[in-house]
Amino acid sequence: MSRTLIIAEHDGQTLNPSTWKCATCATAIGNEVDVVVLGSGIASIASDAATISGVNKVIAIDADHLKNPLAVNDAAEVVAIADNYSHILGSSTTFGRDLMPYIAAKLGVNQVTDISEVEGPYQFKRPIYAGNAIIDVSAPDNLTLVATVRVASWKAAGSDGSSEVENRDASAAASSHTRFVGVKSGGGERPDLQTAAKVVSGGRALGSKENFELVYSLADVMGAGAGASRAAVDAGYCPNEMQVGQTGKIISPDLYMAFGISGAIQHITGIKDAGTIVAVNKDGEAPIFEIADIGLVGDLFTVIPELKALLA
């Protein structure tokens, strides 16, 4: 029987929700599903992965050199067990986009990117042209399929599983040519953009880095992630990791609030799968109102303080 391996994403403490979404995609493919958890001190993370519905087994590979997510180290472990699997899936997050091409190259196969729908074990759909078109992708059935799952297109699997956890030693040593230096996040301690249920974003209309504190403050009141348009990032108002859109992060929160964002097609691509889209803009003709569920023509410098007051 064909088998699918999901590469779990985590921060060393908790399992990223994208892993549950990958499991839904894997179930749609129809194979027996295993999850591999790579890291150091990952017993609790592996236990969480074992609760994912539809998972047959969790493979936990615990080693000091796997503590930080370096593609060169993680890929070596996945390639070592790849012969047991017909499909290897990772999320289309920053983590997956870094790791999966490395695995595909090591296995000598092409990668399928951003699976949004499964039509068969080797037949998929994925968006192109900023989401304006959907193409059919057929992969050869005699090669290992390496793919990323477009997490914005999938619901999370349930958490009623009870699969076994198999602990294994690492099969390779740490890379001699790549080392982990550190990680920094300009978005603070707010929820991760790609998994947050609520996201508050700001655009170039905020006018400065200092004014972007309005977005942060509202996000904190709501317990939401903070995002931005490319124009705001390019202007230096906020860090690159906050960018939402075709060249940033593709997200699907239950609630997306856009302040001072006109709604260029590149930005719309990143939010089109959101549950409810709320737009606030002074320009009543802004394109974002065409896709917004709730639109308010108004000044964000007035609206945000009023929203904060009401929420408080």
Q: Which fold has domain 3-168?
A: Rossmann fold (3.40.50)
Helix (H) or strand (E) holding 135: strand 133-138
Quote the mean pLDDT of the chain: 93
pLDDT of residue 194: 82
193 — pLDDT class (breaks 50, 70, 90): confident
- pLDDT tens digits for range 141-180: 999 999 999 988 999 999 999 999 999 999 999 999 988 8
Q: How far lies 246's CA from each of 48, 148, 229, 243, in Å?
A: 31, 16, 10, 9
Quick one: tokens of 306?
């009023």
pLDDT tops 70 at residue 187: no
Does residue 57 have a pLDDT over 70? Answer: yes
pLDDT at residue 190 in the model = 85
Query: What's the pLDDT at 246?
Result: 85
| Rounded Cα distance, 144 and 136, in Å | 19
pLDDT for 168 equals 95
Check residue 271 and give its pLDDT.
Answer: 94
**Given a cut of 90, is residue 50 above it in pLDDT?**
yes
CA pseudo-torsion sign 86, 90, 92, 97:
negative
H or E, element range at 107: helix 94-107
* Residue 1 pLDDT exceeds 60: no
Tens digits of per-residue pLDDT, 20-34?
A: 999 999 999 999 999
Q: 74 pLDDT exceeds 70?
A: yes
* Sheet hosting strand 111-115, strand order edge to edge: 111-115, 145-149, 87-91, 3-7, 32-39, 55-62, 164-168
* Per-residue DSSP letter, 163: -
| Mean pLDDT (whole number) for 100-116 | 97
Q: pLDDT tens digits for 4-18?
A: 999 999 999 999 999
Cβ contact 246:211 at 8 Å: no
Q: What is the pLDDT of residues 274-305, one digit of tens each?
A: 999 999 999 999 999 999 999 999 999 999 99
pLDDT of residue 180: 87
Residue 129 is predicted with a pLDDT of 81
Does 188 have pLDDT greater than 70?
A: no
pLDDT of residue 185: 64
pLDDT classification of 121: cutoffs 50, 70, 90: very high
User: Is residue 251 pLDDT above 70, yes or no?
Assistant: yes
Q: Is the pLDDT of residue 70 over 80?
A: yes
Q: Domain residues of the chain, as ranges? A: 3-168, 198-311
Tell me, yes or no, if the two domains 3-168 and 198-311 fold the same way. yes
- Classify 198-311 by CATH class: alpha beta
